[in-house]
Structure 1
Amino acid sequence: MVEIRINTAAPEEVPTPLLAVGVRAGASPPGRLAEVAAPAISGGDFSGREGETALLYAGGAIAAQRLLLVGLGEDGPPSPEALRKTAAAAARRARSSGAREAALVVEGGGEEVRAAAEGALLGLYRFSRYKSNREEGGALEKLELLVDGAREEEARDGARVGRAAAAAAALARDLANEPSNTATPEYLAERAREIARRHGMGCTVLDREGIEEEGLAGLAAVGRAAQNEPRFIALEHRRGGEAPPVVLVGKAVTFDSGGISLKPSSGMEDMKFDMSGGAAVLGAMEAVGALELPLNVVALVPATENLPGGRAFKPGDVLRFRSGKTAEIVSTDAEGRLILADALSYARRYNPAAVVDCATLTGACVVALGHHASGLMGNDERLISEVRAAGEAVGERAWPMPLFEEYTEQIKGDVADIKNSGGRPAGALTAGAFLKEFVDYPWAHLDIAGTAYTKKDGGYRTKGATGIPARLLVEFLIRRAEEAA
């Protein structure tokens, strides 16, 4: 990952191959930078619209060799999201120009520096492990963030948090971008063990036998036909004394064929992303450890493949969960809620202060919200508000959706207590209603089916896995730790 440094020198005095500065529409950059920018602005080559860039040779007017103007849009202080996009554009342009080092002017303090660090690091992200020629346009090695000297300490704290949050999202992207023949359930378990060793966390991994002994019926059934056997992963960060922990739960179906209820072949290669919830939770735990948050946090990741075969679970089967509740299988392609039900039931042993689960759960949520927001539902309005606020702060929006009792009526079973699909109407909400049957604590659910991966590059998001909602979870936990202090 690119090295991020804080520098309090005046921008025009920083010797660097490339100096980037955000410029609002109709404005000019500060100080002597305006002299270099004047021809482009007055000549109409740069208007300052959001995302626009112009690379200029400084000609000795400032210490930098080149000046990169990045548009911030209309007048007014740029939002953290605008700063993330600006930093991403600057870092990418620096890399494509072949610069090994660059600098970015950041107006503000810790929040602004954090946003800039996140945007730059995530904008530079590339998953190139399987490409013969990995480098395209060189590699940016160091980025200096130029700040007001009076806010240096605040800026350093912001950069530290930004690096950790970006690393969380990058790890989540890496895990989800891996092909499913690499990212098996055991692979995720080993990555969890590495996080635990790195940060002194507790780690428990249950194999098939342990899963069955614990009565995790959903995970055992979904993973029954797979040669790569399921794993149940629990990571424990204990830095909050005797306080009840916050529990994060992430669905990790490392490949989802739909099982007996087989999916169409078109686009099935994207079903490697069905473990994005688990990837985000593991990414968040990496940041929790790196930041040494004074909080008790537990991560639960049920990991499995969902494949057809002679041993596969079938439509019409009935599962009895560890809570005693029974569920009729209508579709084996509604498997995520089965393994989440296990994890949500398992979470009870921790007497949790709150539980947040995230999962690429339903195509219905994509229909409802597209690719611009995750679905958010739960049984505790305060917790839902916390999760939503954390998402707004980091640019990972979540939109509240209802869990009316009518949705529970929709999943009442014919031969069991409930069924794992309520049909097409309100599919995201009946999935949430299914999960609600297994919780008796403050709980929020994030359906990230539309936000976990993307088909195009844009801003600080790159094609493939987005890492959502790793940074949301990190922000949520930071706020919880601050509240507990």
Structure 2
Amino acid sequence: MDFELKTLALAAASSQRCDLLVLLVAEGFAPGPDALSSLAALALKQGDLQTRAGSLLQCYAPPGVAARRVALLGAGDGGAAAVRKAVLALAPVLKVRGIKQVVTLFAQAPQPEAVGAAVRSLAEASYVYTSTKSKPEARTLARAVIGVPAPAPVRGAFDTAVAVVAGVEFAREWANRPANHATPTLLGEAAQSLAKHKPIQCKLHGPAQVAKLGMGAFMAVAQGSSEPLRFIELHYQGAAKGQAPVVLVGKGITFDSGGISIKPAAGMDEMKFDMGGAASVLGTFRALAQLKPRINVVGLIPACENLPDGKAVKPGDVVTSMSGQTIEILNTDAEGRLALCDALAYAARFKPAAVVDMATLTGACVVALGGVRSGLFANDEALAAQLQAAGEQALDPCWRMPLDDDYAEGLKSHFADVANVAGRDAGAVTAAKFLQRFVGGYPWAHLDIAGTAWKSGVAKGATGRPVGLLVQYLLAAASARRGAGRGK
């Protein structure tokens, strides 16, 4: 979808020709003499519209307004969260056939964050997956105009939001694809397609290279599948070569049957979403290509399938990770951490400023936090605070979880250096403690996105989270480094 930021006052908007004109009406609305203001004021007076976020009143060809359809939307306090809630309420309207162009304007001068929220929410509400449908009902909405009284103060937020939309939609697209349309090989090709953007380079490691690297834990997960694994390495260089990069690591299990510890059949189709962490890395790089911040970023994706087979790893097997630590695999359905631990060990070679991994890792995190916030674990207070602040600003929130050493007691093994599971209690925490063993001395954070990377039920599909959080974090980190450089 194409976005445009345009100078548009309420009076001029009345003559704007489009398929749908959306007016966001926040608390404290003061109507003018124009037709749109009069329409909104009358609706508020009669009680047919409220300013609470998400209140919606649709009108067809109202007098004095050139738009075919008009949607009056309550926008609460006018802040980013309220605007997001309001625009998402438009989802059924945006998917009506024949709506190709929408103009969204604010009845009052908006804050930059509210404009960004409007852009991201319009894209989210109108998204339609079509890739594997024989007669796809494509998204008809092709162009969205954001009308504001003065574009200059909100231009930065608008441009950032447009880039985040590109990244989120790239992530959603690949996470939504069925496993036979998103194999490790195809995921590698998706990463290579990002290298058409000049700041990005891509390197693919196949089975032979991964074996040479000694990634025994990652290879153990893949050995039950006929699909060859891929270890994907992406580089974005926006700063001087000597600047330490931020490394993003994404779990790329393109289908997870559980292996020999096979999952129940009900809901197993959703295990195509188990590469949500990988998708978020790809989506973040797509956004970086557009924003071009002055920062260096490395993306690492261990991609493979986890299937039961005569060659599959068995409960009780012991494997040797890239770090040299041996792992007793007590449950083959705890495979994501096996792939990630080798990627985390590989990350050390870049002498990173920070490492952040994203993984649909544990059902326990879903039980703890549901689908609202991602679980955040970190060994560094500053990094944790930066990620939390980025999540709040991007409306892609996370919640700090504990990493006490006592939680690692259950990972002790009689037959290896560590076991890959520690029982049901505090499962999200013990999974993070397992990963922490493979982190060097660098600042590290783990985002468990099992509850936030996709939705089930009627709204089944990938969300593209936490691309928004990651992009906001990287932009803030780039800005902080520029500020530190000027201070020297």
Whether TM exceeds 0.5 here: the answer is yes
- Aligned-pair CA distance for 1:92: 5.1
Query: Quick check: 1:210 aligned with 2:199?
Result: no
* Contact 1:16 1:102 (C-alpha < 8 Å) held by counterparts: no
How far apart are 1:140 and its partner, in Å?
1.8
Per-residue deviation at 1:414?
1.2
Which whole-Å CA distance do the structure 1 matches of 2:33 and 2:330 have between them? 67
1:262 aligned partner: 262
Give the deviation of 1:97 after TM superposition: 6.5
Q: Which residue of 1 is the match for residue 394 of structure 2? A: 394
Q: Give the number of equivalent residue pairs.
A: 474
- Aligned twin of 1:357: 357
Whether the aligned pair in 1 keeps the contact of 2:330 and 2:421 (CA below 8 Å) is yes
In the alignment, which of 466, 470, 474 is matched to residue 463 of structure 2? 466
Q: Could you give the per-residue CA deviations for residues 190-217 of structure 1, whole angstroms, max 9, x where no partner exists?
A: 0000101233422111111111111111
State the AA in 1 paired with 2:462: A
1:433 matches 2:430: no
Instruction: Detail structure 1 runs of 4+ shifted over 6 Å in the superposition.
Output: none
Q: Which residue in 2 is equivalent to 1:409?
A: 409
Find the aligned partners of 1:474 and 1:52 in 2 and give their Cα distance: 30
Q: Does 1:118 align with 2:120?
A: yes
Aligned equivalent of 1:452:
453
CA 1:68–1:227: 2 relative to 1, 3 Å: same
> Could you say what secondary structure the match of 2:283 adopts?
helix
Residue 397 (structure 1) shift: 1.3
Tell me, yes or no, if structure 1 residue 41 matches structure 2 residue 44.
Answer: yes
Could you report, residue by residue, the CA deviation over 1:409-442 in whole angstroms, capped at 9, with x for unpaired residues? 2211111111000011111111000000011210
CA distance in 1, matches of 2:426, 2:31: 50
Name whichever of 90-99 and 115-124 sits farther off. 90-99
AA matched with 1:159 = F
Contact kept in structure 2, 1:250 and 1:358, CA below 8 Å: yes
Contact 2:55-2:86 at 8 Å conserved across structures? no
Q: In structure 1, the residue corresponding to 2:196 is in which secondary structure?
A: helix
Q: Secondary structure, in 3 states, of the residue corresponding to 1:181? A: helix
Query: Using the alignment, how far apart are the partners of 1:89 and 1:51 within structure 2?
Result: 6
Contact 1:203 1:235 in 2 (8 A): yes
Spell out the pairing of 1:125-204 with structure 2 (5 A cutoff): 125-135=127-137, 139-149=140-150, 152-204=151-203
Deviation at 1:82, TM superposition (A): 2.0
Q: Which amino acid aligns with 2:323?
A: S
Q: Report the counterpart of residue 4 of structure 1 in structure 2.
A: 3
Partner amino acid, structure 1, of 2:270: D
Alpha-carbon distance, 1:219 to partner: 1.3
User: How far apart, CA to CA, are the structure 2 residues paired with 1:357 and 1:450?
Assistant: 15
Conserved 8 A contact 2:94-2:126: no
Structure 1 residue identity aligned to 2:57: A
- Structure 2 CA distance for aligned equivalents of residues 210 and 31 of structure 1: 70
The CA distance in 2 between the partners of 1:37 and 1:463, in whole Å, is 35
8 Å CA contact retained: 2:316, 2:328? yes
Classify 1:37/1:409 alpha carbon distance in 2 versus 1 (closer, same or farther; 3 Å).
same
Output one character per residue of 1:373-403: Cα deviation in whole Å (capped at 9) or x when no partner.
Answer: 1111011011011111111111111111111
Partner Cα separation in structure 2 for residue 262 and residue 8 of structure 1:
57
Task: Kindly state the Cα deviation for residue 85 of structure 1 after the two structures are TM-superposed.
Answer: 3.0
Change (3 A) 1:420 1:271: same
Query: Alpha carbons of 1:47 and 1:108: their partners in 2 closer, same or farther (altered >3 Å)?
Result: closer
AA matched with 1:153 = A
Q: Please name the residue that 1:482 is paired with.
A: 479
In structure 2, what is the Cα distance between the partners aligned to 1:406 and 1:374?
23
The amino acid that maps onto 1:174 is: E
Structure 1 residues 29 and 318 mapped into 2: Cα distance closer, same or farther (>3 Å)? farther
User: Which residue type is aligned with residue 3 of structure 1?
Assistant: D
2:53 alignment partner AA: E
Task: In structure 2, give the amino acid aligned to 1:470.
Answer: V
Letter in 1 for 2:280: A
The RMSD of aligned alpha carbons is: 1.9
Distance in 2 of aligned mates of 1:189 and 1:340? 17
- Residue 348 of structure 1 corresponds to 348
Aligned to 1:318: 318
Give yes or no for contact 1:118–1:166 (8 Å, CA) kept in 2: yes
Preserved contact between residue 54 and residue 87 of structure 2 (Cα < 8 Å): no
Deviates further, 23-32 or 334-343 = 23-32
Q: CA deviation at 1:53?
A: 1.0
Cα distance, 1:31 vs. partner? Answer: 4.9
The answer to whether the aligner puts 1:72 opposite 2:71 as a matched pair is no
TM-score (norm 2): 0.93
Q: Aligned equivalents of 2:310 and 2:406: distance in 1?
A: 36
SS at match of 1:96: coil
How far did 1:16 drift? 2.3
Mean Cα deviation higher: 320-329 or 79-88: 79-88
Does the aligned pair in 2 maintain the 1:80–1:112 contact within 8 Å? yes
Contact 1:362 1:449 in 2 (8 A): yes
CA distance in structure 2 between the partners assigned to 1:267 and 1:274 by the alignment: 12
Give 1:54's aligned residue: 57
Q: Which moved more, 1:50-59 or 1:346-355?
A: 50-59
Measure, in 1, the Cα distance between the counterparts of 2:359 and 2:148: 38
Q: Which residue of 2 aligns with 1:101?
A: 101
Which amino acid in structure 2 is aligned with residue 4 of structure 1?
A: F
Structure 1 residues 327, 31: CA separation in 2 closer, same or farther (over 3 Å shift)?
Answer: farther
Q: Distance in 2 between matches of 1:132 and 1:322?
A: 44
**Residue range with higher mean Cα deviation, 201-210 or 252-261:** 201-210
Sort the Cα spacing of 1:91 and 1:144 in 2 relative to 1 into closer, same or farther, 3 A: farther
Look up the match of 2:223: 224
Structure 2 unmatched runs, 5+: 483-488
Percent identity of equivalent pairs: 43
Query: Secondary structure of 1:254's partner?
Result: strand
Q: CA deviation at 1:369?
A: 1.1
> Aligned partners of 1:59 and 1:204: how far apart in 2?
56
Farther off after superposition, 282-291 or 13-22: 13-22
The equivalent residue for 1:21 is 23
- Give runs of aligned pairs for residues 294-309 of structure 1, distance below 5 A: 294-309=294-309
One-letter code aligned to 1:379: N
How far apart are 1:268 and its partner, in Å? 0.5
1:21 and 1:29 in contact (8 A); partners too: no
